[in-house]
Amino acid sequence: MSETATLSGLNAWVREFAALVDEHKEELTRLDSAIGDGDHGINMERGMAAVLAALDGAETPSSAALLKNVGMTLVSAVGGASGPLYGTFFLRLASACGEVTEVDADTFAKAVRAGLDGIVARGKAESGDKTMYDALAPAADALDEALAGGSSLRAALEAAADAAEAGRDATSPMPARKGRASYLGERSVGHQDPGATSAALLFRAAASVLG
Amino acid sequence: MKKLINEPADVVSEALLGIEAAHPELKIDHASKVIYRGDAPVSGKVALISGGGSGHEPLHGGFVGPGMLDAACAGEMFTSPVPEQMLTATKAVDGGAGVVHIVKNYTGDVMNFEMAAELAAAEAGIDVVSVVTDDDVAVQDSLYTAGRRGVGVTVILEKIVGAAAEQGRPLAEVADIAKLVNANGRSMGMALTSCTVPAAGKPTFELAEDEMEIGIGIHGEPGRRRVPLAPAKEIAEMLVEPILSDLPFTSGDPVIAFVNGMGGTPLIELYLMYNEVARILGGHGVGIARSLVGPYITSLEMAGCSVTLVKATDDLLALWDAPVNTPALRWGV
């Protein structure tokens, strides 16, 4: 088992995320219909299909080049709030991973943290707002904690994916305070957040192919 | 789903081909999905750009032309356009006097326009002022929401501010007028039915025969409350009273009153509603100086309406009356 995220590993991560989004697109759209405008699955599926097409046609000699390509494609293909947010996550991840072909576990965890900070800067979400942040922040914390405790990258990503899914589940009882769901106020209670749901897929994808 | 479409994925691009065929006076960039007035860029004039998700037609593409917008960026259905579109449009319409971005207050629209304005400043040194519309009184403006949605005021604002730019007023003044119109305007909407996004294939929400949704936006999202269907005069009260209690009108203030159709409601019902709205305003001593009735900011085939009131000044009324020549609003030309 590798202790680093290789270029081919990162590539596989993005492809696995695309596959999970495709598999779950109807669920994402159904969740978004309940408290948003019913297009999260459609938009993410379109964005990740564009990412796969972009990766197939591009030379990506480094982690930064690969992840920047993913981020720019998402910004220009998704629209809505998800495009800038997921795009910013991958662009920050790209800068933090750097022009290398192999990213060690600590650098990867720092990059995830940088990506999360980017999402906060763009979306101004906080814990408990019922957004993707509620899945991503616990995942980043769990990743740091597991690595500090001596876990392998793969095991730490498993812990992060579990934390993201727990964070996703915890969005159900929250009233939304950001995005279109916030217009519903208390009526958003009892519905799982679609953004937190797709964000949990991102970490599940990482746990199954990275490290 | 019964719609006049070919493939759900092609609705936006094929509608743009239709706009091009019907309106040779406009220029369409199909790759970037941007509609331009034919003579853009107009040298020395402040340029106005708006955009948003598709499905609200005629907003925004139907308002491109002399006296209104210089460009409109069309997003996917109910999905904000992406930064590259607004960046392309900003560079194309800049006539050296600066560019105003008119942005409806939705999380995605604000973020994508913000990224575009940052890129325009960094890449081309273009002076961009963004004005966000947030007139929907159905949403509480608090730390616990994304803020009020931009709805009907956007139409009134694009007309008035378009006239100010056409007169050659400078960037700062044009932007101030835009902010004034937004600050003076309030809206409230309701739905009798939901709407169906073509790619989703089924209605975004379900409403029973005897129910209506009060406080809806323009994206098929549910509103604040679901109540039993009522006669038009009671619905008018439910829409107008929250507006009047939110924006105190002094007796005698002239207002622009706009009764908007959500896409699936016939004009005869909108005029019936206008009558009810005018009656309520009369009871409050609010004088209607100008009116607009029709489907101008829609939510696909949703049935329902919204009411928008804008407190006007003599300058704003003169700008409202100034010539406009666009596919959806045309007078004085």
HSE (side-chain half, CA atoms, 13 Å) at A131: 25
Q: In the structure encoding, which two tokens stand for residue B117, read together? A: 């304005």
Give the pLDDT confidence score for residue B126 in this predicted structure: 94
Give the pLDDT confidence score for residue A2 in this predicted structure: 53
Chain A CB contacts of B205 under 8 Å are 33
Residue A75 has pLDDT above 50, yes or no: yes
CB A30 within 8 A of CB A171: no
Residue from the list A78, A83, A179 with its beta carbon closest to the beta carbon of B146: A179
Q: What angle do CA B272, B274, B278 make, to 5 degrees?
A: 125
Nearest C-alpha neighbor of B216 from the set B224, B227, B208: B224
The answer to whether the CB atoms of A38 and B53 lie below 8 A apart is: no
The DSSP element (H or E) to which B72 belongs, if any, is strand B71-77
The answer to whether the CB atoms of B107 and A39 lie below 8 A apart is: no
Q: Which of A73, A183, A184, A187 to mutate to test the interface with B (most CBs of B within 10 A)?
A: A183
Q: Is B219 tagged catalytic?
A: yes
Give the pLDDT confidence score for residue A3 in this predicted structure: 83
Separation of alpha carbons B181 and B179, rounded Å: 6
Q: What is the ipTM of this complex?
A: 0.81
Separation of alpha carbons B67 and B207, rounded Å: 40
Give B108 to chain A, closest Cα distance, Å: 4
Q: What angle do CA A30, A35, A40 make, to 5 degrees?
A: 50
Nearest C-alpha neighbor of A119 from the set A99, A91, A148, A152: A91
Q: Tokens 């960026």 appear where?
A: B73
Give B27 to chain A, closest Cα distance, Å: 22
Q: Which of A28, A133, A180, A186 to mutate to test the interface with B (most CBs of B within 10 A)?
A: A180
Q: In the structure encoding, which two tokens stand for residue A193, read together? A: 């957040």
Per-residue pLDDT tens for A90-135?
A: 999 999 999 999 999 999 999 999 999 999 999 999 999 999 999 9
Give the pLDDT confidence score for residue B141 in this predicted structure: 67
Separation of alpha carbons B193 and A119, rounded Å: 35
Furthest C-alpha separation in chain A: 48
CB B67 within 8 A of CB B166: yes
CB B101 within 8 A of CB B130: yes
Separation of alpha carbons A177 and A40, rounded Å: 18
Q: Is B101 tagged catalytic?
A: no
Q: Domain residues of chain B, as ranges?
A: 8-184, 185-311
Give the pLDDT confidence score for residue A1 in this predicted structure: 42
Nearest C-alpha neighbor of B150 from the set A29, A183, A35: A183
CB B181 within 8 A of CB B134: no
User: Is 3.30.360.10 the CATH number for B8-184?
Assistant: no
Taken in order of first residue, the domains within chain A and their CATH numbers are 4-209 (1.25.40.340)
Residue from the list A75, A179, A185 with its beta carbon closest to the beta carbon of B107: A179
Residue from the list B81, B205, B221 with its beta carbon closest to the beta carbon of A183: B221
Residue from the list B146, B199, B221 with its beta carbon closest to the beta carbon of A42: B199
Give the pLDDT confidence score for residue B217 in this predicted structure: 87
Which residue in B56, B60, B101, B284 is the catalytic one?
B56
Q: In the structure encoding, which two tokens stand for residue B50, read together? A: 């708006």
Give the pLDDT confidence score for residue B143 in this predicted structure: 62
B304-311 vs B185-191, strand pairing mode: antiparallel
Residue from the list A39, A76, A123 with its beta carbon closest to the beta carbon of B79: A39
Residue from the list A39, A46, A83 with its beta carbon closest to the beta carbon of B197: A39
Separation of alpha carbons A116 and B50, rounded Å: 30
Interface of A with B (CB under 8 A): 29, 33, 36-39, 42-43, 46, 75-85, 122-123, 175, 177-180, 182-185, 187
Mean of the per-residue pLDDT values for chain A? 94
Q: What is the DSSP letter of B95?
A: -
The answer to whether the CB atoms of A33 and B143 lie below 8 A apart is: no
- Strand runs (DSSP E) across chain A, as ranges? 4-6, 102-104
Query: Nearest residue of B to residue A33 by CA position?
Result: B204
DSSP characters over B172-236: HHHHHHHHHHHHTEEEEEEESS--B-TTT-SBSS---TTEEEES--SSS---SEEEE---HHHHH
Helix spans in B247-304 (H): 267-283
Q: Does residue B81 sit at the A interface (CB-CB below 8 Å)?
A: yes
Q: Tokens 């192999």 appear where?
A: A102
- CATH superfamily to which B185-311 belongs: Dihydroxyacetone kinase; domain 2 (3.30.1180.20)
Phi, psi (rounded to 5 degrees) for B298: -110, 175
What's the distance, CA B199 to chain centroid?
A: 23
Interface A-B, measured as beta-carbon pairs within 8 A, has a size of 107
CB B107 within 8 A of CB A81: yes
Q: In the structure encoding, which two tokens stand for residue B264, read together? A: 């699936």
Query: Nearest residue of B to residue A81 by CA position?
Result: B108
Share of chain A above pLDDT 70, in %: 99
Per-residue pLDDT tens for A135-192?
A: 999 999 999 999 999 999 999 999 999 999 999 999 999 999 998 888 888 889 999 9
Chain B CB contacts of A46 under 8 Å are 76
The answer to whether the CB atoms of A76 and B83 lie below 8 A apart is: yes
Separation of alpha carbons B75 and B103, rounded Å: 13
Give A35 to chain B, closest Cα distance, Å: 7
The answer to whether the CB atoms of A183 and B83 lie below 8 A apart is: no
Chain A CB contacts of B84 under 8 Å are 75-76
Q: Which residues of chain B have pLDDT under 50?
A: none
Chain A CB contacts of B83 under 8 Å are 75-76, 84
